Structure 1
Amino acid sequence: MFGLLNKLENPKKPLLGPNVKALKFWGLLLPKNVFMKYFYLLMHVLVIIFTATEYVDVWFVKDDLNLLLNNLKITMLATMSVIKVVTFLYWQEHWKNIIDYVTRADLAQRVTVDAHKNELISRFTSYCRKITYFYWSLMYTTVLIVMFQPIFKYFLSPSYRENVKLGNETYLQVVSSWFPLDKNTIPGYLAASVYQSFAAIYGGGWITSFDSNAMVIMVFFRAELELLKIDCVNIFGSYESQVSDEVALMRLKECFRRHVELVKFGRLFDSCLSPIMLLYMFVCSVMLCVTAYQITSETSAMQRFLTTEYLVFGVAQLFIYCWHSNDVLFASLQLSQGPYESLWWCRHVSQRKNIFLLTGQFSKTVVFSAGPFTKLTVATFISILKGAYSYYTLLSKSQIKE
């Protein structure tokens, strides 16, 4: 396992190595080879067509609430995957510029001899690997559960198995979708299951590669802000070994340049991610509501467990985004403390004015948003949970009245 993970590393991209390889493997970063490029585009089109068939199936299951809810939670997640991929391909050059900036800035900081900065870089790199592999594991655990759920239910539920044999129930699908063949026959059901499993695996690859890449980039912005703060503290050197005015001015200019570049690419990253996160918030609210309702209404213990795992994935998916965005916001707000922790007080008045100008630049915070309406923070995540719980309560009460 460790040998396999080591193959994902890239010395030229020490922070984003596994994430960039995942983006290339699943076709989000299109290769230069023409054949492979069109092969990936064909795969994308097939999964997009499959997502459209999920919406078609809504018409056929609209009379059964459980089937309808099951369709909605999968379909909305699939829709988010499609939107992520389409926007990533449309803004391919923007994403490449962001990845190049992250790699360039990260490599520039790794040549430092400062022990504190090296320890910080090592800690954040390790954290990026953990969050990436954890998210991949969580996603593919969910995909496997979705794929094998029909088999689990068939062999672990005697009543369901008997009802299927008698024709009182239909076969449980991997993913609720329309299929041109009759899914109530063995050949039609197997053919539909193969197509649905392919879409589930490939869609899972889309989600893991896009989300883990975005999350690691968020971690980078936080790390860069903390490293920049350390450099601001050291603009004039230490009290025992102060640097000359020329060296101090050079360091101050470098801090200023880095922050300008950081703000620029932070806004570019937010412009690519913000529209997706706005829709993501709505989709997660509905998905969490539907999944919570299914857990309370389901009678099978195994089915409850499988649905609970899906709920955990939905909550974790949104929480990780909000948590890391919240970290970036607070690191950006604390950045202005760096210059004031330097030896500005024992320097010439002209250098004090330069420090004042630098703190003015630092007033431009790096913050990520969900559309034009709200910042992506932990407080926003809590609000989404409250909204999902309100929808769940409304849905539960409406079913009791009926």
Structure 2
Amino acid sequence: MYPKRYFPFVMTAFKLGGVYDSDHTNGFWKYFFKFYNVFLFLLCPIYYTIVELVMLYYTKKSLYMFIDHIGMMFVHWAGNMKTVLLLLNRQKIKDVMGVLKDQRFHYEDFEDFRPGNILQNHFKFNEIFCRIFMFTATLVPISNQISALKLFIVEGHSIDAGNMTCQDILPYYCWFPFETETYESCRYAFLFQTVPMILFVYLITAFDIAFSYFASYLRAHFLCIRGAFSTFRERCLVRLNLPTDYELLKDSQHPKLEMEIKTEVRKITHHLQVIIRLHDELKSFYSIPLLIQAMSIVGILISCLYIISLEPLFSAEAYARFQYALGLFFQLSLYCFQGSEITNAALSVADGIYEANWYSCTKSVKTTMMINMMRMQRKVEFTVGKFAPLNMSTYVKILKGSYTYYTFLSQKKIN
């Protein structure tokens, strides 16, 4: 059974991330989403990005503070770029969604081949995986803010006494457009920082969740195409009410069967061409963001490892950075796992063609099958920029590279 809805959680992520097209709603919600989109964009990509640039000046005198701040900037700048890309490519995203749920590419079941179940299983996987991903990402700023809130409650009054500053309590270095030298004003600063940090999570994850769904459904379509090729003859026989073991020396001896097979092979070939073309479009769309994402993850992991190595093992700072690094592992795993799975699924299409009962087919059908097999010898894969394929091998290289840079940096003394 094919899914009834394909992208419900993507729409939720777009709404939370401020990139939802409000023209699809009416009444109150239309204006609410317009206001929310503008509010989030002004608060996060514009205001907070400027604030982080300003804070570079204040953190440059301490290597500890500077590296910690740079790690945070990498995340937010990559998120800003993703948001802009989503806003500029709304129509392309709608077109991609339309193709991935197009009913023209549905096939009937035959024995173990259950195309509806393939798509349904990928839908369920995405629903669970992406919810866990968003939950994990949301915990990062919330846990940091909770730790800061506890410190604020216990020692916040030390601000008025001059023994502590608001920056000593807040989990992130931040410039505020108002004074924060008193206990009362620091409360407002705490709230002023908490809101954009949480909203930044939704802004960043909207792009990642969309990629996960698109990549997973591409994989599902390649698996459906594989199964459709391997069973095309049997399914044609069933349609014509013929036994599945019905054999001919040449299909031309049964004109109706010959025409049915030609039509089915053309349909599957067209399906394959559309999915490959869709993959190529998504590859060009995601190539540069994936490169920036990989570079930002390297920078952030180095920052997290560096801060963790300088803090007591069970301290709040070490825990916060550990959780941050865990979220990055999750994010990087999402991209690399999906990239590997697409490549493997695409390679399996040739196996499906080879397994098909095509011996009695006409020359035109055999030629079409051979061309499809030859096309699938070329790898279908996403790339990190144009430098490396997006797969689990690249995942390991990124982690190894991050640790190598961290060991070099750890030799430096803190100012």
Query: Is the pair's TM-score, using the shorter chain for normalization, greater than 0.5?
Result: yes
C-alpha deviations, 1:313-335, integer Å up to 9, x for none? 11111121011111101111221
- Residues 215 and 342 of structure 2 are in contact (CA less than 8 Å); yes or no, is this contact kept in structure 1? yes
Superposition pairs of residues 41-190 of structure 1, within 5 angstroms: 41-48=38-45, 49-104=47-102, 108-109=105-106, 112-114=108-110, 116-117=113-114, 118-154=116-152, 167=163, 170-190=167-187
Question: Could you tell me the TM-score, scaled by structure 2's length?
Answer: 0.85
Which residue does the alignment assign to 1:330?
344
Moved more, 83-92 or 354-363: 354-363
C-alpha deviations, 1:109-166, integer Å up to 9, x for none? 3x7444632332332222111111111111111121132231244568x8x9979955
- Residues 259 and 362 of structure 1 are in contact (CA less than 8 Å); yes or no, is this contact kept in structure 2? no
Residue 300 of structure 1, CA deviation: 5.8
State how far apart, in whole Å, the 1-side matches of 2:152 and 2:64 are.
17
Superposition pairs of residues 248-397 of structure 1, within 5 angstroms: 248-299=261-312, 301-303=314-316, 304-363=318-377, 365-397=379-411
Q: Is there any run of 5+ residues in structure 1 with no aligned partner, and where?
A: 1-10
Question: Could you tell me the TM-score, scaled by structure 1's length?
Answer: 0.88
- Residues 291 and 307 of structure 1 are in contact (CA less than 8 Å); yes or no, is this contact kept in structure 2? yes
Which residue does the alignment assign to 2:208?
211
Which residue does the alignment assign to 2:240?
none
Counterpart code for 1:120? I
- Check if 1:29 corresponds to 2:20: yes
- Residues 71 and 304 of structure 2 are in contact (CA less than 8 Å); yes or no, is this contact kept in structure 1? yes
Residue 298 of structure 1, CA deviation: 0.5
Q: Is there any run of 5+ residues in structure 2 with no aligned partner, and where?
A: 236-243, 252-256
Moved more, 188-197 or 87-96: 188-197
C-alpha deviations, 1:32-58, integer Å up to 9, x for none? 177443551242122112122112111
Moved more, 139-148 or 255-264: 139-148
| Matched position secondary structure for 1:299 | coil
Counterpart code for 1:366? V
| Matched position secondary structure for 1:21 | helix
Q: Which has the higher contact order (CA 8 A, sep 6+)?
A: 2
Which residue does the alignment assign to 1:240?
245
Moved more, 163-172 or 267-276: 163-172
- Residues 174 and 196 of structure 1 are in contact (CA less than 8 Å); yes or no, is this contact kept in structure 2? no
- Residues 159 and 182 of structure 2 are in contact (CA less than 8 Å); yes or no, is this contact kept in structure 1? no
Residue 67 of structure 1, CA deviation: 2.3
Which residue does the alignment assign to 1:227?
224
C-alpha deviations, 1:19-76, integer Å up to 9, x for none? 1232134321221177443551242122112122112111112222332222222221
- Residues 263 and 365 of structure 1 are in contact (CA less than 8 Å); yes or no, is this contact kept in structure 2? no
| Matched position secondary structure for 2:61 | coil
Q: How many pairs were matched up?
A: 387
C-alpha spacing 1:182/1:163, structure 2 compared with 1 (3 Å): closer
| Matched position secondary structure for 1:217 | helix
State how far apart, in whole Å, the 1-side matches of 2:87 and 2:324 are.
28
State how far apart, in whole Å, the 2-side matches of 1:388 and 1:299 are.
22
| Matched position secondary structure for 2:315 | helix
- Check if 1:196 corresponds to 2:210: no
State how far apart, in whole Å, the 1-side matches of 2:197 and 2:147 are.
13
- Residues 13 and 209 of structure 2 are in contact (CA less than 8 Å); yes or no, is this contact kept in structure 1? no
Counterpart code for 1:18? F
State how far apart, in whole Å, the 1-side matches of 2:78 and 2:144 are.
17
Max Rg structure: 2
Residue 345 of structure 1, CA deviation: 2.7
C-alpha spacing 1:42/1:203, structure 2 compared with 1 (3 Å): same
Residue 302 of structure 1, CA deviation: 3.4
- Residues 295 and 307 of structure 1 are in contact (CA less than 8 Å); yes or no, is this contact kept in structure 2? yes
State how far apart, in whole Å, the 2-side matches of 1:233 and 1:75 are.
50
State how far apart, in whole Å, the 2-side matches of 1:72 and 1:367 are.
31
- Residues 119 and 217 of structure 2 are in contact (CA less than 8 Å); yes or no, is this contact kept in structure 1? no
State how far apart, in whole Å, the 2-side matches of 1:37 and 1:154 are.
35
Counterpart code for 1:73? G
Counterpart code for 1:283? S
- Residues 278 and 371 of structure 1 are in contact (CA less than 8 Å); yes or no, is this contact kept in structure 2? yes
| Matched position secondary structure for 2:9 | helix
Moved more, 28-37 or 135-144: 28-37
Identity of matched residues, %: 17
State how far apart, in whole Å, the 1-side matches of 2:10 and 2:286 are.
16
State how far apart, in whole Å, the 2-side matches of 1:311 and 1:333 are.
33
Counterpart code for 2:295? F
Two-structure CA RMSD over aligned residues (Å): 2.7
State how far apart, in whole Å, the 2-side matches of 1:165 and 1:141 are.
33
Counterpart code for 2:397? S
C-alpha spacing 1:185/1:69, structure 2 compared with 1 (3 Å): farther
State how far apart, in whole Å, the 2-side matches of 1:386 and 1:152 are.
36
C-alpha spacing 1:79/1:275, structure 2 compared with 1 (3 Å): same
